[in-house]
Chain A
Amino acid sequence: MLRRLANYLILVIVATSLAYFLAALSLNPRSNFEAQKPRPTNAQIDATLKTYNLDPETPVVVRYARWVDGIAHGNLGKDIKGGSVADDFARKVGVSIRLLVIATLIGSIGGVLVGAYGAIKQYRFFDRWTTLASFFLLAMPVFVVAIALQMFAVNINESAGSTLIQYTGEYNPTLSGFWPVMLSRLQHLILPTITLTLFQIAQYSRYQRNTMLDVLGSDFLRTARAKGLRRRTALMKHGLRTAILPIVPLLVYNIVLLFTGATFTETIFGWHGMGEWLVLSITTNDVNAVAAVSLFTAAVVLVAGLLSDLIYSALDPRVRFS
């Protein structure tokens, strides 16, 4: 267990360092300042870059050492506009959480239910159509679905004559008061939640259907029926419970990873969360932000891996930690 943890940690460190070096070497933060109007003098740009630890004249190893030193003191450095990366970080994680909680809940529960029901009704109407639908979804990039939903929302809004469904941003900042703001938040939440939910259901229902099919053919389920349990009880208590087991670690892993994975949904629907930050930090040549995002991503992968291992061994006593 400890060895595994140590191994994970080393991987995280290597991955983050590599990301830092790549970002520091291939991105060009100077272009940001050169595009400013009025354009600062070269000396000013150099000085600013220096204070942000982005000076290309300093050897990259020295910059890296400073960055690591900063992290050790809980300081993630400055972003390209001079703000603190740590503050951005906290704000964006919050946005991502607000976006993901509902979608994840509906997505995972829905996925399990759809998959399990499809397996029970194998090759019937429901199963065929959900299978076909998830095929369809999984063959599509996320942005196609997201934009299609946006266009759909525009049509609805036009036919309704008012904007029922909002498709950019998190809420309308001009509103005040608790209920109007809540309503606005809900209106903004609909489309990204549908996008995320659809993909999660499509993905999880496939796994759930497979494991459920395995369980349905098993001896213990026949035994449960033979001892007189009703079909529903047998399926719920003996069938679904067993079939969910292998899915849970996978769910946990995917859910934790979603923290930085909602890139398209966040970008297209204008939510300023972690996923959008990932893209934004690269397009704005913001080296410190890129480094922070990759540190977070690596940490998230580590947590996801450990958590799903732990949950698996807690749920299934046959599995031991090696």
Chain B
Amino acid sequence: MSIQQNVEHEPEADATPALLPPRRSGRGRLTLRRFARNRLALVGIGILVLLFLFAYVGPLVDKWGYNDHDFTAFLDGPSGSHWFGTDQAGTDIFALTTRGLQKSLIIGLLVGLITTTLAATLGAVAGYFGRWIDRVVMWIVDMLLVLPSFLIIAVLSPTFAKSSWLILVVLLALFSWMITARIVRSMTLTLKDREFVKAAKYMGVSDMRIIFRHILPSMASLLIIDGTIQVSLAVIGESSLSYFGFGIQPPDVSLGTVIADGTSYATTYQWLFWFPAGFLVLFGLAIAFIGDGLRDAYDPNSSNAKAQAKAIKEKGKSKDGESDEAAGQRVGSTEVLSQA
């Protein structure tokens, strides 16, 4: 789905034999090169790095803390002493934004990491062992999908108001691993019968080792791409919950709470909205670009190459199943966290 077109032909991609698994280093370098060629993805990385710098260096430069009140400046516009203006309590918006961005960045990345780990482990275990383990895991998946996650996190929010924001991270992760786990499971089912897994098994390698050293690395690309999707979903989910006061609790702030606090004044004092919202959107976009670049780099058939090789239409059954699942994933994700 990249905007930009890869005009150059890729001889490396064609030279790689389709059936033989290529050497890992070679594949990794190839992916890296393709990724580096995708300008949008590089822009994404650039934005992300800048955001981190801004979030962590910004507060050092600014003389106001996010808990300070400037009683000489209420609802002041951007100026020399308050770069992003102040809110109704005289708090510096620059300080609030950087602080909120720190939280959003950390929560997004943590949730993405935990979700993908959880999904990979549970999905692979369910697919590999089968039988009752499979049934139990899949039943949990179904149930968590039916549960209204937004409602449950919101209901629980008063109980974790006094404790740390890490609980929010755990809850967000708990409600977003299911669909990826399903995809991992179905991929594990096909990988299970491949020679290299069987060989490892007959050599006496333990089950868990097979899962973590042989099966999961074979789907690393899927997991990495999914990780980036999860990060952006987590950011949206966290800020949405925080907007209603169900997420990050005061005195701590996240971009969601900063925007929510400014809402009632936003139509007249526009800096209360544009600065935090702008950074939130930048973060989301950066992640989206990176994810897109990664997908194109790992799977040349996904979109860019499609235009070049429309003629090559050899989509096997498994591939079709995959894209269906991927579609389902988006559905599920939107259902889970981003309520329109």
Do A141 and B236 touch (CB < 8 A)?
Answer: yes
Do B146 and A139 touch (CB < 8 A)?
Answer: no
Do B146 and A15 touch (CB < 8 A)?
Answer: yes
A19-B148, A154-B267 given as contacts; is B159 within 8 A of A26 (CB)?
A: yes
Do A142 and B240 touch (CB < 8 A)?
Answer: yes
Instruction: Determine the distance from Cα of A19 to Cα of B5 in the docked complex, in whole angstroms.
Output: 48
Binds B, one of A45-53, A76-84, A175-183, A216-224: A216-224
Quick check: is B142 within 8 A (CB to CB) of the other chain? yes
Number of A interface residues in the complex (CB < 8 A): 71
Do A253 and B151 touch (CB < 8 A)?
Answer: no
Do A213 and B306 touch (CB < 8 A)?
Answer: yes
Do B152 and A144 touch (CB < 8 A)?
Answer: no
Do A147 and B154 touch (CB < 8 A)?
Answer: no
Of chain A, the residue at the smallest CB distance from B267 is A154
Do B307 and A298 touch (CB < 8 A)?
Answer: no
B311 contact set on A, CB distance < 8 A: 217
Which of A136, A195, A282 gathers most chain B CB within 10 Å? Answer: A282
Quick check: is A239 within 8 A (CB to CB) of the other chain? no
A210 in complex: contacting residue of B154, B263, B323, CB < 8 Å = B323
A171 contact set on B, CB distance < 8 A: none
B285 contact set on A, CB distance < 8 A: 135-136, 139
Quick check: is B85 within 8 A (CB to CB) of the other chain? no
Do A139 and B155 touch (CB < 8 A)?
Answer: no
Quick check: is A243 within 8 A (CB to CB) of the other chain? no
Q: Can you list, as one digit per residue, whether each of A279-306 has a CB less than 8 Å from chain B (1) or not (0)?
A: 1001100000010011001100110000
Interface residues of B toward A: which range? 35 or more
Instruction: Determine the distance from Cα of A246 to Cα of B327 in the docked complex, in whole angstroms.
Output: 10
Do B280 and A141 touch (CB < 8 A)?
Answer: yes
A27-B158, A28-B158, A147-B263 given as contacts; is B147 within 8 A of A218 (CB)?
A: no
Instruction: Determine the distance from Cα of A14 to Cα of B277 in the docked complex, in whole angstroms.
Output: 38
Do A263 and B150 touch (CB < 8 A)?
Answer: yes
Binds B, one of A55-63, A199-207, A230-238: A199-207
Instruction: Determine the distance from Cα of A139 to Cα of B292 in the docked complex, in whole angstroms.
Output: 12
A14-B143, A22-B155, A302-B146 given as contacts; is B5 within 8 A of A141 (CB)?
A: no
Instruction: Determine the distance from Cα of A260 to Cα of B151 in the docked complex, in whole angstroms.
Output: 11
A211 to chain B, nearest CB (A): 9
Secondary structure type dominating chain A contacts: helix
Instruction: Determine the distance from Cα of A283 to Cα of B76 in the docked complex, in whole angstroms.
Output: 31
B256 contact set on A, CB distance < 8 A: 141
Do A257 and B146 touch (CB < 8 A)?
Answer: no
Instruction: Determine the distance from Cα of A258 to Cα of B273 in the docked complex, in whole angstroms.
Output: 26
B180 contact set on A, CB distance < 8 A: none
A11-B143, A140-B281, A298-B146 given as contacts; is B288 within 8 A of A135 (CB)?
A: yes
Do A301 and B146 touch (CB < 8 A)?
Answer: yes
Quick check: is A71 within 8 A (CB to CB) of the other chain? no
Quick check: is A111 within 8 A (CB to CB) of the other chain? no
Do A151 and B154 touch (CB < 8 A)?
Answer: no
How many cross-chain pairs have Cβ atoms below 8 Å apart between A and B? Answer: 169
B340 contact set on A, CB distance < 8 A: 142, 195-196, 199, 258, 261-265, 275
Q: Can you list, as one digit per residue, whether each of A18-31 has a CB less than 8 Å from chain B (1) or not (0)?
A: 11001100111000
Do A297 and B148 touch (CB < 8 A)?
Answer: yes
A265 to chain B, nearest CB (A): 6
Instruction: Determine the distance from Cα of A57 to Cα of B48 in the docked complex, in whole angstroms.
Output: 52
Quick check: is A12 within 8 A (CB to CB) of the other chain? yes
A300 to chain B, nearest CB (A): 9
Quick check: is B177 within 8 A (CB to CB) of the other chain? no
A260 contact set on B, CB distance < 8 A: 148, 339
B267 contact set on A, CB distance < 8 A: 150-151, 154
Of chain B, the residue at the smallest CB distance from A26 is B159
A92 to chain B, nearest CB (A): 15
Instruction: Determine the distance from Cα of A258 to Cα of B265 in the docked complex, in whole angstroms.
Output: 29
B126 to chain A, nearest CB (A): 17
Of chain B, the residue at the smallest CB distance from A135 is B288
Instruction: Determine the distance from Cα of A282 to Cα of B155 in the docked complex, in whole angstroms.
Output: 6
Do B146 and A138 touch (CB < 8 A)?
Answer: no
Quick check: is A186 within 8 A (CB to CB) of the other chain? no
A138-B288, A150-B267 given as contacts; is B154 within 8 A of A282 (CB)?
A: yes
B136 contact set on A, CB distance < 8 A: none
Quick check: is A91 within 8 A (CB to CB) of the other chain? no
Which of B147, B245, B284 gathers most chain A CB within 10 Å? Answer: B147
Quick check: is B3 within 8 A (CB to CB) of the other chain? yes
A217 contact set on B, CB distance < 8 A: 306, 310-311, 313
Quick check: is A101 within 8 A (CB to CB) of the other chain? no
A152 to chain B, nearest CB (A): 10
Chain B residues 274-329 with CB under 8 Å of chain A are: 277, 280-281, 284-285, 287-289, 292, 303, 306-307, 310-311, 313, 315, 323-324, 327
A27 contact set on B, CB distance < 8 A: 155, 158
Quick check: is B266 within 8 A (CB to CB) of the other chain? yes
A18 in complex: contacting residue of B3, B147, B287, CB < 8 Å = B147
A250 in complex: contacting residue of B1, B148, B331, CB < 8 Å = B331
Instruction: Determine the distance from Cα of A102 to Cα of B338 in the docked complex, in whole angstroms.
Output: 21
B245 in complex: contacting residue of A132, A150, A283, CB < 8 Å = A283
Beyond the given pairs A142-B339, A261-B335, 20 more chain A to chain B contacts, judged by CB atoms under 8 angstroms and listed by A's residue number, are: A15-B148, A18-B147, A22-B152, A26-B155, A26-B159, A195-B340, A207-B327, A217-B313, A218-B313, A250-B331, A261-B340, A264-B340, A275-B340, A278-B151, A282-B151, A283-B245, A290-B155, A293-B151, A297-B148, A298-B146
A-B contacts, 10 listed (Cβ < 8 Å): A135-B288, A141-B240, A147-B259, A210-B327, A246-B324, A254-B334, A261-B339, A262-B340, A282-B154, A298-B147
8 smallest CB-CB distances across A and B, nearest first, come from A139-B284, A217-B310, A263-B339, A297-B148, A154-B267, A15-B146, A11-B146, A139-B285
